[in-house]
Amino acid sequence: MFPLHRNRRLRVNESIRSLVRETTLSPTDFMFPMFIAEGENVEVAIPSMPGIFRRSIDLTVIEVKEIYALGIRAVNIYVKVSEHLKDNAGVEAWNPNGLMQQAIKAIKTACPEMIVMPDVALDPYSIYGHDGIIANGDVENDSTVAALVKMAVSHAQAGADFVAPSDMMDGRVLRLREGLDTAGFHHVGIMSYSAKYASAFYGPFRDALDSAPREADVVVPKDKKTYQMDYANRIEAIKEALSDVEEGADMVMVKPGIAYLDIVREVKNAVNVPVTVFHVSGEYAMIKAAAERGWLDHDKIMMEQLMCIKRAGASLISTYFAKEAAILLNK
């Protein structure tokens, strides 16, 4: 009770504040999303994501070594697939010599200690831009899951440490675990996108991979709301996360990040596995745009948002700011 207790005593200077700080950040808290392009010596800027590029495998490997030296220990990777390789079944997704499989092998060869978590979803391979196989005007759940199992096993064969299903199909974690185990990959983990919302914050990401739903000569959903979650829902996120853990997920993810910190905390309280949070492309782009106009202090806002995600319960933060934040933390 005041005046015996004065909370400001613990805020007098930075040394005292650092002693009692409840949450800390380090480069090992970050995972860096990387976009892979075909070819050699290719670097394509993504206009809606300043500072982020699609890079060919040779340049990606160079950057992987750079971020490992900064203390970052995990990457999640996505590929930009040529149009002629796309179809409705996503067959290219489990090509042992496909772009994703080559990228995994190259990263693990160049930097064996880097944890590689490739994206498992069909949208980069789909002629319709959806995360699964289109049938009867919608994404067909079970045939999509069967394709995802082939995809995940091919990633494991290439050397992936974890597979990261982002598709939001029902039952896919169980089938992935069974498929990996049957193929002998008991050690390969699953980081499941458990609470992935149908969010408008993904726009720049879809620019990077050309993975937005598109018009077609057949009836297809105009958006991803039949499988990604309604952003009005909270209890559903807990249900999804618990289901994935029961099916064998080693980590669960909440996506997006800053706008969903209540969900992060709810999921953290409900599960007994690490919780990953994806600080998504739209959240990144907003900070970049405001900072370019001088409306916000870029570095301060970046670090505040990352700290808030960690405070909410994240064990790992997938963020396009990973490299910039690690540089600041190392200073």
Annotated catalytic residues are: 196, 255
* Residues 244 and 192 sit within 8 Å (Cβ to Cβ): yes
Amino acid letter at 166?
S
**Residues 6+ positions from 197 with CB-CB distance below 8 Å:** 228, 229, 230, 231, 255, 256, 260
- Backbone φ and ψ for 159, nearest 5 degrees, come out as 120, 10
Taking CA atoms, 189 is separated from 21, 125, 317, in Å, by 32, 23, 17
Note the helical H segments in 20-98: 57-69
In 3D, which of 49, 30, 72 has the Cα closest to residue 303? 30
């300043």: which residue's tokens?
Answer: 50
Check whether 22 is labelled as a binding-site residue: no
Phi-psi region of 39 (alpha: psi -120 to 50; beta: other; left: phi over 0): left
The annotation places the binding site for Mg(2+) at: 240
